[in-house]
Amino acid sequence: MSFLVEENPAEHRFEILVDDALAGFTAYVPRGEVLVFTHTEVDERFQNMGVGSALIRGTLDQIRARGGRVVPRCPFMAAFIERHPDYADLVTVDS
């Protein structure tokens, strides 16, 4: 099984493809360099397979690479960052 995480700026979300099928997304509201994440969804066919964590990890890695920051309003993303404190430096407060 291969995962690919890519941003879909037109839809304001990062999407994860599993073997070329859209398996989930995490949606955001852009605020300049800060992205406020509001909702994460994984298709039920792909749940309990690590797809959600791969989606969040891939999203955060891309945001880190471009020097961005996040506000994890989405409970799934907030819980992921809590479990992986090496991503805590990307979190900022929503102004």
Confidence (pLDDT) at 35: 97
Give the model's confidence band at 95: pLDDT under 50 very low, under 70 low, under 90 confident, else very high: low
pTM of this prediction? Answer: 0.95
The answer to whether the Cα torsion of 48, 85, 71, 18 is positive or negative is: negative
Phi, psi angle pair for 67, to nearest 5°: 80, 20
The domain segmentation of the chain, as residue ranges, is: 3-90
Cα-trace Rg, the chain: 12
* Main-chain phi, psi angles of 93, to 5 degrees: -90, 145
- Let me know: does 66 contact 44? Beta carbons within 8 Å: no
Query: What are 24's two structure tokens?
Result: 């989930």
CATH number of the structural domain 3-90: 3.40.630.30
pLDDT in tens, 29-85: 999 889 999 999 999 999 999 999 999 999 999 999 999 999 999 999 999 999 999
